[in-house]
Amino acid sequence: MFKKLIPNLMVEDVNYTVDYYENILGCFELIATDPKEGKFDWAMMRSEEADIMFQSRESLGGVIPDFKNKEIGATLVIYIEVDNVEELYNLIKNKVDVIEELNTTSYGMKEFLVRDCNGYILVFAQ
């Protein structure tokens, strides 16, 4: 039935968000945008099998009017499994807003939490 789950996150500035995910987190690459260049209304990024989309408030609010006045950042956590969580942590810990340091959880996962440039919470785990 279901094939894939791809979050589409509302952001104020898609270009800034793309730059953050490419150059600060360093683990996502841009694969599609609308428009193709200039100020993006929407972008899709990928890291191996994981995709994530970002859409501007203006663009998404045009499709879903209820979103026009919603706060960006939401009350959700994006859980991302990675191959080497310690290596990623060491690469980005001084460039991002770490809200929980690298640790081993009660359920046996090594993980750390960051707040991205839009206020979304990302958990990187192994």
CATH number assigned to the domain comprising residue 53: 3.10.180.10
3 inside domain? no
26 inside domain? yes
Overall pTM > 0.85:
yes
Q: 1: pLDDT confidence band, cut at 50, 70 and 90?
A: confident
Asked if pLDDT for residue 32 goes beyond 90, the answer is: yes
Asked if pLDDT for residue 45 goes beyond 90, the answer is: yes
Q: Which domain holds residue 31?
A: 8-125
Q: 2: pLDDT confidence band, cut at 50, 70 and 90?
A: confident
pLDDT one-digit tens code per residue, 15-30: 999 999 999 999 899 9
Return the H-helix or E-strand segment holding 90: helix 85-92
110 inside domain? yes
98 inside domain? yes
Q: How many domains does the chain have?
A: 1
